[in-house]
Amino acid sequence: MIEIIPAIDIIDGKCVRLTQGDYEQKKVYREDPLEVAKEFEANGIKRLHTVDLDGARSKHIVNSRTIERIASHTNLTIDFGGGIKTDEDLKIAFEAGASMVTIGSLAVTHPETLYLWIEKYGAERFILGADVKHGLISINGWKEEGNESLFPFIEKYQKKGINQVLCTDIARDGMLQGPSIELYKDVMKHFPTLHLIASGGVSGIEDIRQLNEAGIPAVVFGKAIYEGKIKLEELKEFIEC
């Protein structure tokens, strides 16, 4: 059964969503992310994906207090990303209550730092953020296109023990036009033991059914919930009680 992971993206302590990572296309959905997280938990959700968008833009964690509030008032397993660039950022994220952190840009620009963190904290506490555009990994809030291809990027870190990969098709993110199922199937074909987390484009419950049927291990989505395209009760067919 596919793992359901709703997303909460945070700017100024509020629950927002961007379209294709564009900060100019920001929409505030809720003033208090904690209330959103509580609603998810009340409907059987076990895990939450959180992104500090202020942190991603500032290149250091900004909204740790919001993560701390969610962690201290729910039993959700929280994975956190956005702005983790230094040892201090990583410490802040874990102390705020994140069980895992998603590392994307730094995994491209400073792999040796991530290698050291894996040795210190264990690979199971890291999710590799693979934001894809034209087959290449994008970095720094999707503003820059790197020169690393997706499959070698995943392979490099899988060899280091990381087995969770959050793969986002940037072209589809926030567009509500359906996920890149063929891309994800191709990733699973090359890495059959990978815990792949599909991200980007989920427009309704049928998209999740198709990802599940395709054997994709997990899915992150947010806008479809906030826009009312997916009702929380619809997700219960995928949630093990």
Enzyme catalytic residues = 9, 131
Q: Which residues pair with 50 in a beta bridge?
A: 8, 80
Which tokens is 221 given? 């989505």
- Other C-beta atoms within 10 Å of 19: how many? 15
Return the closest-CA partner of residue 232 out of 18, 11, 38.
38
34 HSE (CA, 13 A, CB side): 13
Amino acid residing at 16? V
Q: Which residues of 53-65 are buried (b: 16+ CB within 10 A; e: fewer)?
A: bbbbbebbbbbbe
Task: Tokens for 61, please give them.
Answer: 């964690």
Q: Do 174 and 168 form a contact (C-beta atoms < 8 A)?
A: no
Secondary structure, 3-state, 79-133 = EEECCCCCHHHHHHHHHHCCCEEEECHHHHHCHHHHHHHHHHHCHHHEEEEEEEE
Which SS3 state, helix, strand or coil, does residue 222 take? coil
